[in-house]
Structure 1
Amino acid sequence: MTDTWRPAAGRVVCVGETMAALAPDPPGPAADAGRLRLSVAGAESNVAMYLADHGVAATWLSALGDDPLGRRVRGAVGAAGVDVTHVRTDPDRPTGLMLKNPAPTGTRVHYYRQGSAASALGPGLLDHPAVRTATLLHLTGITPALSPSCRDLVTRALAVPAAERPYAISFDVNHRPALWPKDTAPDLLRDLADRADIVLVGLDEAQHLWGPALTPATVRALLPGPRILVVKDGSRTATAFTESEAVSVAALRVTVVEPVGAGDAFAAGFLAGLLRGEPVHRALRLGHITAASALKVTSDRGPLPPDHCVDRLLALPDEEWEAYGG
């Protein structure tokens, strides 16, 4: 396979909101729950935690309320091996909260995050020393939906031409319709994604945003700017488009307990693969392996397989990998 651009090895900084999360325990409709389990949920901190699991130095930058939920969030992310020393405590705004409501037709998520501490983040965060010294800055399409200042943060980060940035930028489209004013997401998310170095998007969300007839190849035509574009087709395949080739790898078959968090896990696995110099097809495999760990648990993050199991899966011939795939 043709060699391709990849970010240099080094520290990854993930910027975005993490909330306290309540979910029924045991899983089931929230209305029927005898008790609720408290955990944490945030796309960017999920990525940071999984990167740390893969041995990649990761920093999470955000803001939390000066409240018990904020302390719970900070402790949980830090305990996963992520640097949380730069997370700001806001004395005037609360930590965001979400409620998961599992049902046979899918999981609904209810947000209580308006006016949260993280919604006050702004473009000044990009001047933080942790950002300026990063190898890779990871952002998602959730952040610009939180507030005008958060939108300014992401817009400013991606306004700088790639050749002039001191770090690469990865951007997971991560479209959350409930957070966006009507009809504002498609154009803005397309513009932001096209300016990033690495972009991850689900085929289903691309079809929702930009047209129901889209295929992975036509998503690439819509987003020619990224050096690497990954289009994830659910439980079937993920295709990475580089500047010179397209590489597809089948997802692993797995019994799904809870799908929330799998996209973040995939992003972290794929980025970890690139950062450690893996070829694109092995980085995609590492994304699938990491996503499978999230799919098997009710929380956003599950345990990775032992290193020797990961190494064995990465080294499988294509036909043997396909035997595990969907």
Structure 2
Amino acid sequence: MPDTSPLAVCVGEGLVALVPATAAPLEDVRTFHRSLAGAEWNAAIALASAGIRTAVVSRVGDDGFGRFLTAELRRHGVDDTAVEVDPEAPTGLYVKELSPRPDGSVDGTMHYYRSGSAAAAMSPATLATSSASELISEAALVHTSGITPALSETARAAQDALFDAEREGRLLSFDVNWRPALWRGREAEGRAAISGYVRRADVVFCTQPDAEAVFG
């Protein structure tokens, strides 16, 4: 894609997803399929597949999972130069547990291992790196979601910095992405935070279940 085309920058957490090859309790599963996950990272790949010049701002661990994630971005034509590599914190992941139902369908339960991850350590400093700040200043659109501020106090501060910054003509896109498990014990705080981002965004994505859960 030519450098003169509009740039979309997605800011948020990347995860590795491990999905069992068979529907069974995790203790009985021997084989898992690995893939990239994370709302903003999936959005970046979708935008790139539509021919839009796209970049991701985030953090991964200095581990095999982190290298897999950044390689996946590059494979799909997404700029990964603003994905920081943390020498200590690991790359976050989730494991999906598949349970068969009597009618032949399958239920899925997510088990997240993201506490203390490299992405959870996102902060305003992440946005201030030369790579990230240059991309954001050039962007026609910046996309993020309600997952980022739920990860940690520093990640929420990064989200706030993104919304507080001068837009300089670019659009700010926000996907509500309500995750009650991430806001457990502080649901009212989460709803207030997400409502604030919704009011300040130029473009908002929200499913009906998320609208009912957050806005009533």
Q: TM-score, normalised by structure 2?
A: 0.86
Matching residue of 2:209: 204
Matching residue of 2:97: 101
Q: TM-score, normalised by structure 1?
A: 0.58
Query: Are 2:79 and 1:77 aligned?
Result: no
Q: 1:172 Cα shift?
A: 0.2
Give, as a single letter, the amino acid of the residue that structure 2 aligns with 1:73.
Answer: L
Q: Is the 8 A contact 2:57 2:127 kept in 1?
A: no
Q: Is the 8 A contact 1:17 1:62 kept in 2?
A: yes
Question: How far does the alpha carbon of each residue in 1:15-56 deviate from its partner, in whole angstroms, 9 at most, with x for none?
Answer: 111111110114x24535341111111111100001110000
Which segments of 5 or more consecutive residues in structure 2 lack a partner in the other structure? Answer: 100-104
Give, in whole Å, the separation in 2 of the partners of 1:210 and 1:29: 36
Give, in whole Å, the separation in 2 of the partners of 1:194 and 1:30: 42
Aligned partner (choices 54, 58, 81) of residue 54 of structure 2: 58
Query: Are 2:117 and 1:111 aligned?
Result: no
Q: Is the 8 A contact 2:9 2:139 kept in 1?
A: yes
For the residue of structure 1 that corresponds to 2:162, the secondary structure is: helix
Query: Are 2:127 and 1:126 aligned?
Result: yes
Q: Is the 8 A contact 1:60 1:82 kept in 2?
A: yes
Q: Is the 8 A contact 1:30 1:100 kept in 2?
A: no
Matching residue of 1:4: none
Aligned partner (choices 112, 137, 142) of residue 137 of structure 1: 142
Give, in whole Å, the separation in 2 of the partners of 1:90 and 1:124: 13
- Tell me which moved more, 61-70 or 32-41: 32-41
Matching residue of 1:49: 45
Give, in whole Å, the separation in 2 of the partners of 1:30 and 1:13: 38
Matching residue of 1:302: none
Give, in whole Å, the separation in 2 of the partners of 1:126 and 1:135: 16
Matching residue of 1:178: 181
Give, in whole Å, the separation in 1 of the partners of 2:180 and 2:196: 17
Q: Is the 8 A contact 1:126 1:132 kept in 2?
A: no
Q: 1:159 Cα shift?
A: 2.9
Q: Is the 8 A contact 2:18 2:95 kept in 1?
A: yes
Give, in whole Å, the separation in 1 of the partners of 2:213 and 2:98: 22
Give, as a single letter, the amino acid of the residue that structure 2 aligns with 1:185.
Answer: G
Q: Which has the higher contact order (CA 8 A, sep 6+)?
A: 2
Give, as a single letter, the amino acid of the residue that structure 2 aligns with 1:165.
Answer: R
Question: How far does the alpha carbon of each residue in 1:221-241 deviate from its partner, in whole angstroms, 9 at most, with x for none?
Answer: xxxxxxxxxxxxxxxxxxxxx
Give, in whole Å, the separation in 2 of the partners of 1:29 and 1:55: 39
Matching residue of 1:149: 154
Question: How far does the alpha carbon of each residue in 1:171-195 deviate from its partner, in whole angstroms, 9 at most, with x for none?
Answer: 0001111111422211111111110
Matching residue of 1:89: 85
Question: How far does the alpha carbon of each residue in 1:260-293 deviate from its partner, in whole angstroms, 9 at most, with x for none?
Answer: xxxxxxxxxxxxxxxxxxxxxxxxxxxxxxxxxx
Question: How far does the alpha carbon of each residue in 1:137-169 deviate from its partner, in whole angstroms, 9 at most, with x for none?
Answer: 101000000110110111122234xxx412210
Runs of 4+ aligned structure 1 residues displaced above 6 Å come to none
State the identity as a percent.
Answer: 39
Which segments of 5 or more consecutive residues in structure 1 lack a partner in the other structure? Answer: 1-8, 212-326
Q: Is the 8 A contact 2:25 2:97 kept in 1?
A: yes
- Greater fraction strand: 2
Q: 1:77 Cα shift?
A: 1.7
Give, as a single letter, the amino acid of the residue that structure 2 aligns with 1:172.
Answer: D
Question: How far does the alpha carbon of each residue in 1:199-225 deviate from its partner, in whole angstroms, 9 at most, with x for none?
Answer: 0001111111221xxxxxxxxxxxxxx
Q: Is the 8 A contact 1:57 1:82 kept in 2?
A: yes
Give, in whole Å, the separation in 1 of the partners of 2:173 and 2:107: 28
